[in-house]
C-alpha cells in the first residue's frame, strides 16, 4: 500500500487529497496519514497542505523497497525487498535470509557495500549512492552442475534491460561481465549452497555502475558506468524493476527447458568475444583460441588454429582479450 501511494504521488504533479487517497485505497484518512509519515521517515519530502492534500516535492534517485515496489511488475522476483543504507555484501545478506527460510525471489539491495565481492575472492568496488548492488534468492529444483547456467540467464536479462532502458550498445563478456564501449559496467557473482545431488539455494549477486562518474585508480581503465556512456543519469529503481521482470521471464523458460538452448542465440548476439581470439587462462597457463559461441550448457566453445573445437567452463578459466580487457 505504501508503494502504491508513492506511485500515485509520483505520477501526480499536483496535490492529492487525503480523502481521494483514502477512497482509492479503501482505508481511513488516518491510515493514509500514517503511510505518508512512514514515507517521510524514509526520506521522501512530502508536502502536506490543509484542504489541498499531499504532494511529492523531490523525486530523488532512491532504491528503497517502497521505491522499487512502486514500479515493480506483479511477479515473484523482487516481490519482497530488503533495503540497506550500507551493508558488507548483499550476497551475504541473502545467504542469511536463505538460511532463515525466506522465499524464492527475495531481493536485497543496498546504497553501499563495504565488502563487495567478485569471483574467486576478488573485490567489487561498490561506492555509495550511484550504483545498483543487489542479490536475488532462488530456490530452484536443479542439479548442482546446472547452477552456472543461472549466470547466463541473468547476463541476458541484464543486457536486455540495459539495452531497453539506455539504448547503449551493450555486450556480454563471457561468462559474467556486461561491457559497454569495451569497459565493464556490470558483473555477476552467482553462489550456491548445495550438496552432491541437490541445490538448497542460489544467490545471484549483481553489481551495476549506474550513475557513477569516477572510479578509483585500480579500476579506472577497465570500468565505466551507464551515466558516463550515455551522458545522463537514469533511475536506478526503474532499472531494478525492469530487471526483475526480464529475469523472471527468462528464468521461468530456463526452468521449463532445463538448458539454455532457448537463449543461446540471444546470448551470442551480445557476446563481445564472438569470432575473436581470446586468451584462455587455465591453471596459470595461457592459450590463444578463437571464441565461437556458447553451447546449451552455457560453456564457451573455442577453436584452435587447426579448427579443433573444445569447451571451457566458467569455473576453470579466465578469458581475456589479446590486447585489452575484452
Contact residues: ligand BT5, CB under 6 A: 89-91, 113, 116-119, 122-126, 133-135, 176-177, 184, 187-189, 205-207, 209, 219, 222-223
| Rounded-to-integer distance, Cα 172 and Cα 186, Å | 10
| Rounded-to-integer distance, Cα 175 and Cα 240, Å | 21
The enclosing H or E element of 203 equals strand 199-209
According to DSSP H, which parts of the chain are helical?
2-11, 18-25, 29-41, 65-69, 90-99, 148-166, 226-230, 236-257, 264-270
Backbone angles phi, psi at 243, to 5 degrees: -60, -45
Min dist CB 126 to ligand BT5, Å, is 6
Q: Which is nearer to ligand BT5, 25 or 325 (CB)?
A: 325
Min dist CB 265 to ligand BT5, Å, is 24
Q: Which is nearer to ligand BT5, 121 or 307 (CB)?
A: 121
Three cell numbers at 72?
515493480
Min dist CB 315 to ligand BT5, Å, is 12
31 burial via Cβ count (<10 Å: 0-12, 13-18, 19+): middle
Distances (CA, A) of 77 to 148, 240, 322, 325: 19, 11, 38, 33
For residues 185 and 226, the answer to whether their CB atoms sit within 8 Å is yes
Three cell numbers at 251?
528464468
Q: Which is nearer to ligand BT5, 62 or 183 (CB)?
A: 183
Min dist CB 140 to ligand BT5, Å, is 19
Q: Which is nearer to ligand BT5, 20 or 230 (CB)?
A: 230
Q: Which is nearer to ligand BT5, 69 or 189 (CB)?
A: 189
Q: Is the dihedral of CA 305, 264, 226, 208 positive or negative?
A: negative
Q: Which is nearer to ligand BT5, 39 or 154 (CB)?
A: 154
Closest by CA to 104, choosing from 139, 151, 78, 154, is 139
Min dist CB 113 to ligand BT5, Å, is 6
Q: Which is nearer to ligand BT5, 92 or 235 (CB)?
A: 92
**Chain position whose Cβ is nearest to ligand BT5:** 187
Q: Which is nearer to ligand BT5, 225 or 246 (CB)?
A: 225
Min dist CB 214 to ligand BT5, Å, is 11
Three cell numbers at 183?
569497459
Min dist CB 306 to ligand BT5, Å, is 30
Min dist CB 23 to ligand BT5, Å, is 41
Amino acid at each position: 500500500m505504501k508503494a502504491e501511494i508513492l506511485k500515485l504521488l509520483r505520477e501526480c504533479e499536483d496535490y492529492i487529497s487525503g480523502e481521494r487517497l483514502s477512497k482509492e485505497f479503501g482505508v481511513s484518512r488516518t491510515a493514509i496519514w500514517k503511510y505518508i509519515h512512514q514515507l517521510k521517515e524514509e526520506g521522501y519530502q512530502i508536502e502536506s497542505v490543509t484542504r489541498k492534500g499531499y504532494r511529492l516535492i523531490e523525486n530523488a534517485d532512491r532504491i528503497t523497497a517502497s521505491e522499487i515496489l512502486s514500479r515493480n511488475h506483479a511477479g515473484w522476483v523482487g516481490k519482497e525487498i530488503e533495503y540497506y543504507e550500507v551493508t558488507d555484501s548483499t550476497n551475504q545478506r541473502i545467504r542469511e535470509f536463505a538460511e532463515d527460510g525466506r522465499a524464492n525471489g527475495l531481493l536485497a539491495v543496498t546504497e553501499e557495500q563495504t565488502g563487495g565481492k567478485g569471483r574467486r575472492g576478488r573485490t567489487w568496488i561498490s561506492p555509495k549512492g550511484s550504483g545498483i548492488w543487489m542479490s536475488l534468492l532462488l530456490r530452484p529444483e536443479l542439479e548442482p552442475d546446472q547452477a552456472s547456467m543461472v549466470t547466463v540467464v541473468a547476463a541476458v536479462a541484464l543486457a536486455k534491460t540495459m539495452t531497453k532502458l539506455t539504448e547503449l550498445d551493450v555486450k556480454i563478456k563471457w561468462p559474467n561481465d556486461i561491457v559497454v564501449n569495451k569497459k565493464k559496467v556490470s558483473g555477476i557473482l552467482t553462489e550456491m549452497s548445495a550438496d552432491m545431488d541437490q541445490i538448497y539455494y542460489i544467490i545471484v549477486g549483481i553489481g551495476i555502475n549506474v550513475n557513477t562518474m569516477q572510479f578509483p585508480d585500480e579500476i579506472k581503465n577497465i570500468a565505466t558506468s551507464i551515466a558516463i556512456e550515455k551522458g545522463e543519469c537514469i533511475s536506478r529503481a526503474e532499472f531494478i524493476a525492469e530487471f526483475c521482470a526480464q529475469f523472471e521471464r527468462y528464468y521461468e523458460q530456463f526452468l521449463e527447458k532445463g538448458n539454455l538452448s532457448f537463449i543461446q542465440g540471444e546470448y551470442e548476439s551480445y557476446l563481445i568475444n564472438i569470432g575473436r581470439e581470446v586468451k584462455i587462462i587455465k591453471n596459470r597457463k595461457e592459450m590463444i583460441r578463437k571464441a565461437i559461441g556458447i553451447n546449451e550448457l552455457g560453456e564457451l566453445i573455442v577453436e584452435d588454429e587447426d579448427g579443433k573445437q573444445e569447451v571451457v567452463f566458467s569455473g576453470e578459466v579466465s578469458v581475456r582479450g589479446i590486447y585489452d580487457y575484452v
